[in-house]
Amino acid sequence: MSQNNFEEESVEQPFISHLIELRSRLLRVVLFVLVVFGGLSFYANEIYTILAGPLMRYMPANSSMIAIDVASPFFTPFKLALVLAAFISVPFILYQFWAFVAPGLYKRERRMILPLLIASTVLFYLGVAFAYFVVFPLMFQFLTAAAPAGVAVMTDITKYLDFVLTIFFAFGACFEVPIFTIVMVWTGLTSPKSLAEKRPYVIVGAFIVGMVLTPPDAISQTLLAIPMWMLFEVGLLFSRLFVRKPDDAYADDMALEARLDALEKQEDE
pLDDT tens-digit readout, 114-135: 888 888 889 999 999 999 998 8
pLDDT at residue 254, rounded to an integer:
52
pLDDT at residue 32, rounded to an integer:
96
Residue 242 or residue 163, greater confidence: 163
Over range 190-204, report the average pLDDT: 87
pLDDT at residue 263, rounded to an integer:
52
pLDDT reading at 252 higher than 90: no
Query: At 160, which amino acid appears?
Result: Y
Mean per-residue pLDDT over the chain, rounded: 81
pLDDT at residue 126, rounded to an integer:
93
pLDDT reading at 241 higher than 70: yes
Classify residue 227 as exposed, middle or buried by CB count within 10 Å of its CB (0-12, 13-18, 19+).
Answer: buried
- Tell me the DSSP string of 68-81: -SSSHHHHHHHHHH
pLDDT digits (tens, 9 = 90+) for 28-79: 999 999 999 999 999 999 999 999 998 888 887 777 888 888 888 899 999 9
Classify residue 97 as exposed, middle or buried by CB count within 10 Å of its CB (0-12, 13-18, 19+).
Answer: middle
Which of 201, 50, 214 minimizes the C-alpha distance to 143? 214
Residue 259 three-state SS: helix
pLDDT bracket for residue 13 (50, 70, 90): low
Residue 248 or residue 116, greater confidence: 116
pLDDT reading at 11 higher than 70: no
Over range 106-119, report the average pLDDT: 79
Beta-carbon count within 10 A of 123 CB? 21
Q: What is the pTM (predicted TM-score) of this model?
A: 0.78
Which of 80, 87, 100 minimizes the C-alpha distance to 20? 100
Query: At 42, which amino acid appears?
Result: F
Q: Tell me which of 22-26, 117-121, 149-153, 172-176 is least confident.
A: 149-153
